[in-house]
Amino acid sequence: MRILVDSSIWVDYFRGGVNSEIMDRYIDENIICTNYLILSDLFPALRIRKQNKLIDLLNEISKIPLDINWNRIIDYQITCLKNGINKVGIPDLIIVDNAIENDLILFSLDKHFKLISQSTDLKLVEI
């Protein structure tokens, strides 16, 4: 089991949020991973705040390659729209695809992922 940790969870974790204990356990078990899309969401704010140690730590985490299949992304978007899930950005659909194609469990606070999981093969950490 590998857990793809979304930026919303990382931000919550850095702030000592309610999911910190779960994240500590996943880190200790060495089952977390990320991708460069998620990191690109985190790094600008960390660089502005000169949080170089956090950047270094995030760079040590296993990164899952992004093999973007645009036809699958379009299919996910169509599925979302047919199910009344509007305004899901392409970056989040790429994260969905990355998780499904690599058999990862997504850990996120974003509510639209739960909706997407009801009509796709996306697996989520239940919180």
pLDDT in tens, 5-54: 999 999 999 999 999 999 999 999 999 999 999 999 999 999 999 999 99
Q: Give the domain range for residue 35.
A: 3-124
Residue 32 sits in a domain of what CATH number?
Answer: 3.40.50.1010
The Cβ-side half-sphere exposure at 18, using a 13 Å CA radius, reads 3
Q: What is residue 9's DSSP assignment? A: H
CA gap 98, 26 in Å, rounded: 19
Total tally of structural domains belonging to the chain: 1
pLDDT in tens, 54-111: 999 999 999 999 999 999 999 999 999 999 999 999 999 999 999 999 999 999 999 9
